[in-house]
Structure formats: C-alpha cells, structure tokens
Structure 1
C-alpha cells in the first residue's frame, strides 16, 4: 500500500469492484471474517479500528500483534468508523487484505469431497452462503467460471463468515475447466430442475465437481454442457425450484456422506 494513501481512503476506494480487481485487494469487515483472514495467513495491508466499538479481546490482541509486525494500524472514533462501515451494526474492525487465487493447474482433483463450480450466482448472500457451506462440508475449493463472480466483495465475505479465506479459489473460463476435468477424470455433476435422475441415485467417481448456477436463469448452455451427469433434488411442494445455496448445501453434504 502506498504511503500517500491513508487506510480510510483506501477502504472507500475498494468499495469499487474494478479497484479491488486492479489492486488485488479486498476489505474484511467484522470480527469473524477478520479472525479467519488472520488464521488463514492472509497478508494484511492495513487495519482500521475503533477501540470503543470493537468488543473482541482476541481481535484487539491480534491488532496489537500486527502493529508490532509493522502493519499500518489506524485507530478512529466510532463516528468515523461507522462512516466507513458497510451495512449492519459496525463491528469496530476493518482490514485490507491481499486477495489469494490458485492457478487451475495447481488444483488437486482428488482434494476434499468435491470441487464446487459456480456460474451466474448474482446474490452476494447466496455466494457467501455457498462458500460457508462448501468449507463446512469439506469441499476442495471453488472454481468460478468467468469474471462475473466476486468472492472478495465485502458482502460476500461477510455472508461467508470468513470461510472464503479457508478455501482455494480458482477463476477460469469454461473451456479451460473442461480441459482440466477431462485430463484428470473429474466427474462433473450439474444441479438442475431438469436433471435426468435424483441426486442420491448417481454413482460417484473419486474425483468430482459440483456445478451450480443461479436458480432463476440456471446455467448457461456452455456450462450445462460441461456436465456428464445432471441431477435434481425432488420438490414435493408447489414450488418449482430451491434457492441455489440451499440446493448446494443438500448436494454437498450428500457428496460428503457418500464419499467418506
């Protein structure tokens, strides 16, 4: 971080997606996301905090430790922090961290219960919930098809409760993912209301990837054609679909159960 740019100003700048992408940085706000980022070894560029608002003694101890390590620390009054805070009750701590991405070539096809492959997830809440569930269910990591999805948006990080910092993240176009899956014998399973069989009737191979898309639009044709198996979750009520994060949770825990 350049010395000419105060942390408070950088927090405002990073509210813009193109600035996060250009700088490779993200804003972590809230006690749980901050503690998870530190536990996962993410590089801290700066921390802004309010002694009055921050109640967590563990977070305060970490801030003092990072200050001794040379991380720029800026303490502000509660009013100033609330002006910088985005949504909900101000927690009293916001950190600027460097994003972390894994090249597709370094993704272990046999890691975890499966890889989660996402396309067209528009809601930050849904994306964050999928991240949180995937980490809890032992997924190997997330593959994001194309540039649209932003796992380092502040609302996504908050919804994931910091789980985003514990999962390998890969970004690539569908064609590159298809080549990787074919090379490693990965069974690509798409969730779709038009699936040919129930999710729990599918025979599984050791290397698996679960493909999810937004419930309204579904997967693009290009992404849909990546799957060798298309499964559905039975719906007994009057609705015609499940929320994508809920559907992902059902499928992830079934893959964990049957793969363990």
Structure 2
C-alpha cells in the first residue's frame, strides 16, 4: 500500500516520532532506521521494513526503487511525505531521503547459536549508543556472531545506536541478558570468556585464545566489576605507551577482537 502524508498532526507521524522513545519502542516492538545505505543493507540481509517512509522531491535512485518494490511486494506500506516531516520523525535537521520501521529482533540468549561463529562480542553496562553501534560494526568486520549486552546497557534499537551501527544491526545477532543469566548460559556449552584486565593478566598478543571466544568489555567509566573479571577463562592486558591509562571501551573491544581473529586464523581454529 502507498499513501501520502502532508500534515505534522497526522497520527502516523506521531506514531513514527514515538519510536524515538525507548518506552514506545518496547510497547510496539518496533524500531526506526534511516538512510538508503542502511535500509539497503537490511534488504540485502533479507530484512525489510514494515513501513517505508520517503521524502518527496528526493533524487531518483535505483536502490530506492528496489527497496520500494521489495516492501510493496512483501505487503508493507510505503509513505511519501515532506522533508520537513521526515526531519521531525527522525530528529535530524538534514534527514536522509528514506527511513523504515522494523520489527525488533528476538534478543534472548536462547535464540543464539554459539557454534555459528568463532568469535562473539559481549558488553557489560555499555551506556553510549555510539559505542554500542561501533561494537556492532566491529563484530560485522571481524565475522563475529553478534553482540551480547549484559546488565543495563544502552538500547540497541535506539535511533542513535542503529545509526552508529552503519547497518550492522541487521548483520549481527543481538542478545540482552543479566550477568546471572549469561554466565550459566555460557557455561552450558563450549565458550572461552576473555576480558582485558590488569588482574593476573597476560599479554594480549600470544595468549591462548580458543573458539568460540567471547570477548567481554565493561562500562565506559567503571570498567568490569572484579567478580566478572575473575569469572573469565582468560584475562589479557594491552600495553598503554602514553599517559592514558585505558582505551575507549569499543576501541579496546576492536583491538582485542582483531587479535583473537588473527590468533584463531593462524591456529587453524574456527576460520
């Protein structure tokens, strides 16, 4: 179905704007994503929006045509509106030409197949949606199975996190759990839990990584609780050659992820 919306007070506009709020996203089970590249990544991953919103007067593009055709063929809804209304929906002064409404994914641990990838990323109490999006991009880059969010993390379906993921929200599995749920799940099957730490740690280069490897990073300001670090199978340290005493959480996760990938590749494990 296709229709045009021209008024700011339209109920659909209010509904779309409400998806910028976590409470409404959870109630509806939907989230908002914007940008042709991001929506094209979703389509190429086999995921289509339930509703596609497009700005009037946009430049013609074959990828927009392909996206529109796929949504209509799947029984979705296509809406055309003004750039001003689209800006109101997305919260950006200069919105991209398209946005989409997607159903939230199953984020339970039970939905994960740990054997699907040799490496997984795990974040505890990560509060910055930009860091969360960066970790999703890192996971996509290294061929990780996904990102497991432990305890009170930023919402992976917020507009900011989805935008920062650059499409990786559609290529990476996302799970959410408490530490009390995660640790028994991890110990219920194969899996090595690794964290960057200063407690009884060994150099991150040359450490005995094993697949499937779960790389754990902590909160941006507090790091990991001692209890969580001590539960890890392996603790590694990365050298800090300047005055800074730590790396950004997402950066640390990326550095460690690439080292794990390199180690597993050279060991002939998992790749």
Match of 2:268 in 1: none
1:119 aligns with 2:118: no
Moved more, 217-226 or 250-259: 217-226
Match of 2:185 in 1: 180
Give the deviation of 1:103 after TM superposition. 3.4
When the two structures are superposed, what TM-score results if normalisation uses the length of structure 2? 0.86
How large is the RMSD of aligned CA atoms in angstroms? 2.1
C-alpha distance in structure 2 between counterparts of 1:53 and 1:90, whole Å: 11
- Listed as ranges, the gaps of 5+ residues in structure 2 are 1-9, 266-271
1:136 aligns with 2:129: no
Give the deviation of 1:88 after TM superposition. 6.2
- Listed as ranges, the gaps of 5+ residues in structure 1 are none
Contact kept, 8 Å, 2:196 with 2:236, in 1: the verdict is yes
1:245 aligns with 2:245: no
Match of 1:26 in 2: 31
Cα deviation, 1:139-168, whole Å, max 9, x if unaligned, reads: 111111135331111111111101011111
1:36 aligns with 2:41: yes
Cα deviation, 1:65-93, whole Å, max 9, x if unaligned, reads: 31243311110122222222233631111
C-alpha distance in structure 1 between counterparts of 2:60 and 2:128, whole Å: 30
Query: Aligned in 2, Cα 1:36/1:193: closer, same or farther, shift over 3 Å?
Result: farther
List 4+ stretches of structure 1 deviating above 6 A.
none
Secondary structure of 1:110's partner? helix
Contact kept, 8 Å, 1:190 with 1:229, in 2: the verdict is yes
Match of 1:62 in 2: 67
C-alpha distance in structure 2 between counterparts of 1:206 and 1:68, whole Å: 41
Would you say how many aligned residue pairs link Structure 1 and Structure 2?
256
Give the deviation of 1:48 after TM superposition. 1.2
Contact kept, 8 Å, 2:146 with 2:172, in 1: the verdict is yes
